[in-house]
Amino acid sequence: MKLTIDQRWDLIDKIAKQTITFGEYRHTLKDANGELTIKPFTGIPIAIAVMYAFWSIFGSFAGFFTDGFFVRLFDAYWLPWLQEVFPGQGGWLYAIMVDAGGIEGGEFVLSDNCLESFGVLTSGLFVAIGVVLPAIVIFYLMLALLEDIGYMPRLAVLIDTMLHKIGLHGYAIVPTILSLGCNVPGVTATRILETKKQRFIMMTLLAIFIPCGAQIGIMQDVIPGLMGWILLYLIIGYFIFGYILNKIVPGKAPEFLIDVPPYRRPMLSNIGKKVWGRIAGFFKVAIPFVLLGAAIVGVLYQLGVIRFLGDALAPVFVGWFGVPKETAGPLIAAFLRKDLAVAQLSVIEMTEYQMITAVVLVSIYFPCVATFAMMLKEGWKELLGAMAVLTVVVFAYGGLIHLIGILLGVA
């Protein structure tokens, strides 16, 4: 049976009368509050407060588990026990699995904490379970809460104008914030952007300038006082190089339309499912890489490769970036896991400014291998392009930070 246009409209009217109830609309306080969070003049202060709460709770929660319990558990019980029961003290397997130790007065000396031991079962497990896991749990819990309340679309609207300056739009806040948890889902989330240009810019910026939750967790634990400066350098870099990429990468950056939902009471079951799904992903992807990273770095140390690279690259590290040549090891480890690399940097003797530079370099130097694999999945041309940009950024931005340090008299 074929209906004419008029018959169709009649049918629509009939269905509408039976299914839709019309009533008087009243603007509620919830609606008014929703509007306040979108208007720039009032929305930006609220966004500043939301971000404050995010980081404050993140720091308190992660510090509670890591400093309150895990540091003691690993340093006072787990490490001494393993040092005692693992056979072959001083041998290469012992160094890789438990404790690389050190030489004092010609004698082998054991480490007294898990950050300095560099073993798979000590540093590797401590970083993965003791430091990164609490950070990841609270990060994803907070993110799920913001998503379920309905705040994320509002943040996207608020930041839209700013992100247009770097060729993106408000939705780019989703992969950016996801990447603060783990770069892997962040890279996947770039698919919500419409054009190739936008996806390329976003993927490149994520790989270079967005530290993952694991890295932030370990920074919070080992260098809390410097974290603000490091994040500031990364945010500035994100916008500077985003702006440059927007100018040189061909393609379009269209406007976007978004349906902003009303605020809703979050559902516990939804939040539980989201957090569990993401943490399970972390267990599958990150923990094996942390342990593998600790093993590979241990082997490279034992074979003398790290020392060789440190010596060979010393002019670049010391002369161009202004950091000690010993940072070569952590930079190699950073390809496997950036959190592990920051932990290794924290025990190298250097000035505060050198530490800031070194951690920023770890962040921008190379995406971790899991992110690298994910980027490859998105397209080898995009990956090659991102790597080319990354090489330029590392040398340009690393050198610029060193130059700023020299000008300020702190480098």
Partner 1 sequence: MAGKSSVAAIYFAILGIVTTAFGIADILVTAGASEFAYGILEISGGLFRGGWGGVIVLFAGLFYLSGIRNFDDIHQCSKVVMGSILIWIVAGCDIFAMITESIPGGEDGPWFNTLDGFIGTYAPPYAPAVLLLPFSLVVVYYIYKRKQEI
Residue 68 or 277: which CB sits closer to partner 1? 68
Question: What are the angstrom distances between the C-alpha of 41 and each of 16, 38, 46, 128, 149?
Answer: 40, 9, 10, 41, 21
Residues 37, 151 contacting (CB under 8 angstroms):
yes
Beta pairing partners, 107:
104
Residue 82 CB contacts under 8 Å (≥ 6 apart), including other chains: 98, 99, 119, 121, 122
Angle at 294 between CA 221 and CA 138, to 5 degrees: 35
Q: Which of residues 140-199 bind partner 1 (CB under 8 A)?
A: none
Beta pairing partners, 36:
none
Residue 226 or 249: which CB sits closer to partner 1? 226
Q: Which of 29, 85, 103, 248 binds partner 1 (CB under 8 A)?
A: 29
Q: Should residue 395 be labelled a site residue for partner 1 when binding is judged by CB under 8 A?
A: no
Q: Should residue 68 be labelled a site residue for partner 1 when binding is judged by CB under 8 A?
A: yes
Q: Which of 1, 5, 20, 48 binds partner 1 (CB under 8 A)?
A: 48
Integer Cα distance of 9 and 4 in angstroms:
9
Question: CB under 8 A: which stretch of 31-39, 142-150, 186-194, 201-209 binds partner 1?
Answer: 31-39
Residue 284 CB contacts under 8 Å (≥ 6 apart), including other chains: none
Q: Should residue 378 be labelled a site residue for partner 1 when binding is judged by CB under 8 A?
A: no
Tell me which residue has tokens 């890591």: 66
Task: Supply φ then ψ for residue 16, to 5 degrees.
Answer: -60, -40
Shortest spacing between CB 69 and partner 1, in angstroms: 6
Shortest spacing between CB 31 and partner 1, in angstroms: 8
Residue 126 or 171: which CB sits closer to partner 1? 126
Question: CB under 8 A: which stretch of 33-41, 213-221, 335-343, 358-366 binds partner 1?
Answer: 33-41
Q: Could you give the 3-state DSSP secondary structure of residue 309?
A: helix
Q: Should residue 320 be labelled a site residue for partner 1 when binding is judged by CB under 8 A?
A: no
Residue 67 or 148: which CB sits closer to partner 1? 67
Q: Which of 67, 147, 148, 378 binds partner 1 (CB under 8 A)?
A: 67
Binding mask 70-89 for partner 1 (x = CB under 8 A): --x-----------------
Question: What are the angstrom distances between the C-alpha of 269 and each of 128, 144, 145, 148, 272?
Answer: 27, 11, 11, 11, 5
Task: Supply φ then ψ for residue 187, to 5 degrees.
Answer: -65, -40
Shortest spacing between CB 332 and partner 1, in angstroms: 32
Binding mask 215-234 for partner 1 (x = CB under 8 A): -------------x------
Q: Should residue 63 be labelled a site residue for partner 1 when binding is judged by CB under 8 A?
A: yes
Longest dimension (CA), the chain: 97
Shortest spacing between CB 124 and partner 1, in angstroms: 23
Q: Which helix (H) or strand (E) holds 373?
A: helix 369-378
Question: What residues line the site for partner 1 (CB under 8 A)?
Answer: 26-29, 32-33, 35-36, 42, 45-46, 48-50, 52-53, 55-57, 59-61, 63-64, 67-69, 72, 228
